[in-house]
Amino acid sequence: RSMNTVHSVWAVNPYGLTDCVYSKYSYSQSQMCRFLGLFSFPQSNMTTPALLPLSGRRIPTLSPGAASFPHHRATLRLSEKFILLLILSAFITLCFGAFFFLPDNSKHKRFDLGLEDVLIPHIEAPKGAKHPGGQVVIHGQGGHDEHRHREEEESLRDKIRVDHERALQEAKEKLRKSRDELRAEIQTEKSKVVEDLKKKKEVPKPLPPVPMPKVVGVNDGDPVEPDVKEKRDKIREMMKHAWDSYRQYGWGHNELKPLAKKGHSTNIFGNSQMGATIVDALDSLYMMGLHDEFKDGQEWIEQNLDFSVNAEVSVFEVNIRFTGGLLAAYYLSGQEVFKVKAVQLAEKLLPAFNTPTGIPWAMVNLKSGVGRNWGWASAGSSILAEFGTLHMEFVHLTYLTGNPAYYQKVMHIRKLLAKMDRPNGLYPNYLNPRTGRWGQHHTSVGGLGDSFYEYLLKAWLMSDKTDTEARKTYDDAIEAIERHLIRKSNGGLTFIGEWKNGHLERKMGHLTCFAGGMFALGADGSPDDKAGHYLQLGAEIAHTCHESYDRTVLKLGPEAFKFDSGLEAVAVRQNEKYYILRPEVIETYWYMWRFTHDPKYRQWGWEAAQAIDKYCRVSGGFSGVKDVYSSNPTYDDVQQSFFLAETLKYLYLLFSSDDLMPLESWVFNTEAHPLPVLHLTDFSEGICIFQTESD
């Protein structure tokens, strides 16, 4: 210390106590130390070298007190006493202050070294003595101290020796092990750490309370007309047959093989057994008033649905079926479990967005979070209809969790697409998530493209028409589609073809038939007063798709049909003649019915329902058929989960009155799972503000 008055050298004794060993001040060091009154060492000790315990460094011998007194005075002046008193009190304050401001653990460490014995009285019950009532004996003063310190020093050394020996022993054992054993050991430790980390991460975060949007018309819809009611009851009975069969033969599996009467799954769900049919069917069961079945499904979900499985699933399929299904079940029933599961799943899907561009991979492993794309998709591209069909569910996830990440991910996709050049104003089906460039220039309103357009329109509707950016993007896209892809056949049928590198293929898929409903749904709000035009376009597509059903033997539509060389609305290739219980045509009938109330849509829907019941029904459920042009069809032996989620739901809605799921309050996702309208404002990057009309 370079204070004007005191220049001293202090060393640390074995107990961490500061020894006064030298002072340039005019008093003798020993006198000074005595004066400070801190130490229990006899005065004679102060002249012996102080031993630093660790380094063993010697401190120079001190000169005797008298020799260092320049004036040989025996007493101190009052002012000197006063200064000394001041120094003393400052020193004591410093010592105590330092001690009390030390963090707790550092205090404890010091105590472990034995410092507590010196600085504060040691409290210890004497061996063998009992002190009832928590009575304690205080010691630390008197002549036993020195002896005890020595003992403690020795025991400390012993402890250090034992520790060293143990460490040495462990090191020797490690060296004796083979490389493989060591590697295995390291691996086990690593996995343990990873597991522990995961467990920590998996502690479910409580979800913030958010108002339940107003849910209307979830179980009304009884039609007045008895014949319509009869048809509706028939659809309900078909639903029960599909569900009961799955319940009996495929319970817990993703889908059902209705002929083999066992569980079934496809690669979109990886090797998981996540009860896709249960989740997909829940809201249909609820709307149809099949409450026991709904409860049964809920119980299975509560007890079995686990998304931490080592399965590589399709992000799109799992999102529309599981996230959408769970969210809809939550909004309809108010049961928290569905919300919790939807959020658990969403967290598992987020790693799919870890690509250089933020365009998600098509597939993600739910356990590892590793993503990749389908091998067949244009040089490792992601698919428009897949990464473009996440918006509705992800907006709801942000609403329910308060986590903006979901919203930001889908808005990022939208922004990225908005910046890209579009050949002829069209969106190609393929986009490379690494380079951010389009793959092959193929455009479709059917498979690979379809629900991208659907979700632009529905983003606008679901935001209570505040997301005008989505509406504008939809309008521009549809305008280009109309210009390049929609044509009238020689026989007067309007169809939507496929655009392949500047060439129009005059082929329409069953999947494309959903577009009739989309055009009708988007008619209101379309630019330049084209509402009538789009409703008309919807009607024309509905008509064409009905023709594709009507021109078959089974009265069920083929997977794809042509408008070429005199053939219209019929499949040509054998591998396009199948019907796999798809919903798109019936979906369009329902939207057209809601907007026009033209009875032909109910009539067409009934024709399809009867054909399904006649040709697809088997004792173990419903199956797809391989050839709709054959009077003796063979089955594909799959009861698709979307048959319960969509086909039967749209049929049921078609024969219900409009107060069941009114379209002003609900928007159906692409798997027919209804989500309530959320009034959304402020679309700045990463922000969305919800204003809901809650119950």
Closer Cβ to ligand DMJ, 46 or 238, answer by number: 238
Cβ at position 253, least distance to ligand DMJ in Å: 17
Burial call 74-96: b when 16+ CB within 10 Å, e when fewer: eeeeeeeeeebeebeeeeeeeee
Q: Specify the residue, 643 or 690, whose C-beta has the smaller distance to ligand DMJ.
A: 643
Long-range CB contacts (< 8 A, 24+ apart) of 140-146?
Answer: 145/40, 145/117
Closer by beta carbon to ligand DMJ, 241 or else 582 = 582
Could you give the CA distance from residue 22 to residue 20 in angstroms, rounded to a whole number?
6
- Which residue, 495, 527, 668, 487, is CA-closest to 594? 668
Determine the 3-state secondary structure of 659 from DSSP.
coil
CA 123 to chain centre: 54
SS (H, E, C) 471-513: HHHHHHHHHHHHHHCEEECCCCCEEECEEECCEEECEEEHHHH
Q: Is 255 a catalytic residue?
A: no
CA angle 157, 126, 137 (to 5 degrees): 110
Q: Residues 578-607 vs ligand DMJ: string with x where CB under 6 A?
A: ----xx------------------------
**Dist. CA 351–CA 492, nearest whole Å:** 48
Q: How many degrees, rounded to 5, is the angle at CA 444 between CA 454 and CA 346?
A: 45
Nearest distance from C-beta of residue 350 to ligand DMJ, angstroms = 21
Residue closer to ligand DMJ by CB (options 21, 352) is 352
243/642 with CB nearer ligand DMJ:
642
Residues 6+ apart with CB under 8 A from 477: 425, 426, 427, 453, 456
Work out how close the CB of 409 gets to ligand DMJ at its nearest, in angstroms, rounded to a whole number.
Answer: 20
Number of chain residues interacting with ligand DMJ (CB under 6 A): 8
584-596 vs 514-523: helix axis angle to the nearest 10? 30
Q: Which of 444, 451, 466, 548 binds ligand DMJ (CB under 6 A)?
A: 451
Sign of CA dihedral 71, 75, 78, 81: positive
Q: Footprint of ligand DMJ on residues 473-532 (CB under 6 A)?
A: 511
The 3-state DSSP composition of the chain as helix, strand, coil percent (nearest 5) reads 50, 10, 35
Cα 120 to chain centroid, rounded: 54
Toward ligand DMJ, which CB reaches closer, 316 or 430? 316
- Exposure b/e, 163-175, CB count within 10 A at least 16 = b: eeeeeeeeeeeee
Is residue 151 annotated as part of the catalytic site, yes or no?
no
Least distance to ligand DMJ, CB of residue 649, Å: 11
Q: Are 399 and 454 in contact (CB under 8 A)?
A: no
Q: Which helix (H) or strand (E) holds 237?
A: helix 226-245
Site for ligand DMJ in 54-83 (CB under 6 A): none
> Residue 269 Cβ, how far from ligand DMJ at the closest point, in Å?
12
CB of 637 to ligand DMJ, least distance (A): 17
- Shorter beta-carbon distance to ligand DMJ: residue 264 or 582: 582
Which candidate in 280, 584, 646, 671 is catalytic? 584
Our measurement of the distance from residue 449's CA atom to the centroid of its chain's CA atoms, rounded to an integer in Å, reads 25
Of residues 84 and 235, the one with the C-beta less far from ligand DMJ: 235
CA–CA separation, 187 vs 234, rounded Å?
A: 59
- Contact between 466 and ligand DMJ by CB under 6 A: the answer reads no
Q: Report DSSP letters for 383-428, one per residue.
A: EHHHHTS-HHHHHHHHHHH--THHHHHHHHHHHHHHHS--GGG---
Catalytic residue list contains 393: no
Cβ atoms 490, 509 nearer than 8 A: no
Q: How far is the CB of 420 from ligand DMJ (least distance, A)?
A: 23
Near ligand DMJ in 636-675, by CB under 6 A: 642, 646, 670-671
| Count of positions (residues) in the chain | 695
Whether residue 670 is annotated as binding a ligand: the answer is: yes
Sequence letter at residue 280: D
CA 98 to chain centroid, in Å, comes to 48
Residue 669: CB minimum distance to ligand DMJ, A: 9
Which candidate in 117, 255, 317, 627 is catalytic? 317
Nearest distance, CB of residue 584 and ligand DMJ, angstroms: 6
Find the catalytic residue in 116, 450, 627, 636.
450
Q: Which residues in the 168-227 window bind ligand DMJ by CB under 6 A?
A: none
- Kindly tell me which of 22 and 579 has the beta carbon lying closer to ligand DMJ: 579
CB of 638 to ligand DMJ, least distance (A): 12
Residue of 547, 559, 637, 646 with catalytic role: 559
HEC letters along 160-185: HHHHHHHHHHHHHHHHHCCHHHHHHH
When the beta carbons of 213 and 538 are compared against ligand DMJ, the nearer one is: 538
Q: Alpha-carbon distance 61 to 484, whole Å?
A: 103
Contact assessment for residue 224 and residue 607, using Cβ atoms and an 8 Å cutoff: no
| Among the listed residues 673, 688, 662, 683, the one whose alpha carbon sits nearest the alpha carbon of residue 214 | 662
Closest residue by beta carbon to ligand DMJ: 670
Q: Which residues are annotated as a binding site for Ca(2+)?
A: 670
Annotated binding site: 670
* Active site amino acids: 317, 450, 559, 584
**Given the rule CB under 6 A, which residues bind ligand DMJ?**
451, 511, 582-583, 642, 646, 670-671
